[in-house]
Amino acid sequence: MASICTYNSAIIITIILLLLKDALGMVPAVYVFGDSLADVGNNNHLQLSLLKANYPHNGVDYPGRKATGRFSNGKNFADFLAQNLGVETSPPYLSLPSKSNNTSVYLTGVNFASGGAGILNTTNSGACIRFDQQIDYYSAVYGVIVQQLGTTQAQDHLSKSVFAIVIGSNELLNYAKSNSASKASPQQFVDSLIPTLQGQLKRIYNLGARKFVLIGTGPIGCCPALREQNKTKECNAEGNSASVLYNKAVSSLLNEMRRQYSDMSYSFVDTSIVLNQYIQQPSAYGFTEVKSACCGLGDLNAKVACLPVSTYCSNRSSHIFWDFYHPTEATARMVVATAFDGSAPSVYPVNIRQLAS
């Protein structure tokens, strides 16, 4: 009898937590998938990976000046998405104790994103949590929620939650950096990614997701690492072309899924359009430096990653890029603000505020 009472008490507490979360935020939870643009510390737990940011000068502007594993001087896309939705930042999955069977751990959201991850399992293999593996982890979370809440209550909770996905940049970076003589055209390369991404998104949908936020890739060719390779220090045209084509393909994929699944809704953020506005008209958005990384070494601070031996700028909010690949906290904040309250062509068919309501 005692065990039954204990179990029933856990269910009651779980339901109360759900109701409280609905009252406090726009959505009950945010579940995050993707790469280093949304990693809030998962890679810290990968012992053999070198793709980490849990050392200075990362986190110099994070509360407590702490390097948390975010590839940023401060907060990233995942943080600002949660902040705008009125919920706490979802914790990294690998930080949760023993992948607890206590549903309350999972009800407010989980972050599965991992620096270096891509659509393909071969992207940075062994150094990150592959996107497919992230979905496997979420599948386990889904199972625990269903087991303790029941199918109906679990589906209700998940259908109101936001599922944010930031993926694709690592494949496009690898493509733009390649000098292979047999290299595919940008369109051919993008076309090769979409069937895999389609299967991944459908799998997440089949595990209860109904509200999707897809953050497209920025203008990959304009990141300091690729500018540094150009004698003129201008953007890599091929990389930018691939970014535009990728975002168009993902947008088309989402539209196709929406036609197939009438209960699915989404916001697609065309980060290439948004960041190009900052790059082309920096003063209008409060930026003064669009080419160089804030933290690093060498030309454009892009020869060496942001390491403890690197130098870093004092005017971080004026820089678009923190290191040779990643945006500053200021940039991430502005991109998410646009995604939250903006309109087409930056975000569509609805913005995140409309999606969440």
Question: Would the pLDDT of 103 be above 90?
Answer: no
**Are the beta carbons of 319 and 313 closer than 8 angstroms?**
yes
Mean pLDDT computed over every residue of the chain: 94
DSSP 327: B
Distance CA 291, CA 337 (A): 22
> What confidence score (pLDDT) does residue 18 get?
53
The yes-or-no verdict on residue 82 having pLDDT over 60 is yes
Q: Does 70 score more than 70 pLDDT? A: yes
Q: Check if the beta carbon of residue 212 is closer than 8 Å to that of residue 264.
A: yes
Distance (Å, rounded) from C-alpha 304 to C-alpha 295? 9
Position 349 pLDDT exceeds 60: yes
> What H or E segment, with its residue span, contains residue 31?
strand 30-34
pLDDT band for position 84 (cuts 50, 70, 90): very high
Q: How many residues does the chain have?
A: 357
Indicate which residues carry an active-site annotation: 36, 323, 326
Count of Cβ atoms closer than 10 Å to residue 184 Cβ: 13
What would the two tokens of residue 104 be? 């309350």
Helix (H, G, I), strand (E, B) or coil at 304: strand
Position 104 confidence tier, pLDDT thresholds 50, 70, 90? confident
The amino acid present at 295, given as its one-letter code, is C
Give the position of tokens 């070198």. Answer: 50
Tokens encoding 217: 């890739």
- How far apart (Å, rounded) are the C-alpha atoms in residues 352 and 357? 9
Q: Using the predicted structure, report yes or no on whether residue 109 has a pLDDT greater than 50.
A: yes
Mean pLDDT of 289-315: 97
- Asked if pLDDT for residue 173 goes beyond 60, the answer is yes
Q: Domain 2-272+347-356: give its CATH code.
A: 3.40.50
Q: Where are the alpha helices (DSSP H) in the chain?
A: 2-24, 77-85, 104-107, 131-149, 151-160, 169-177, 186-206, 224-227, 237-260, 271-280, 329-341, 352-356
Give yes or no for a contact between 215 and 165, defined as CB atoms under 8 angstroms apart: yes
| pLDDT of the residue at 16 | 55
pLDDT of residue 100: 56
Sheet holding 30-34, edge to edge: 30-34, 162-166, 211-215, 265-269, 347-349
Place of tokens 């005692």: 2
What Cα–Cα distance (Å) separates residue 159 from each residue in 39, 167, 210, 314? 23, 22, 5, 43
- Of all residues in the chain, the percent with pLDDT exceeding 70 is 92
Q: In angstroms, rounded to a whole number, what is the distance separating the alpha carbons of residues 118 and 100? A: 27
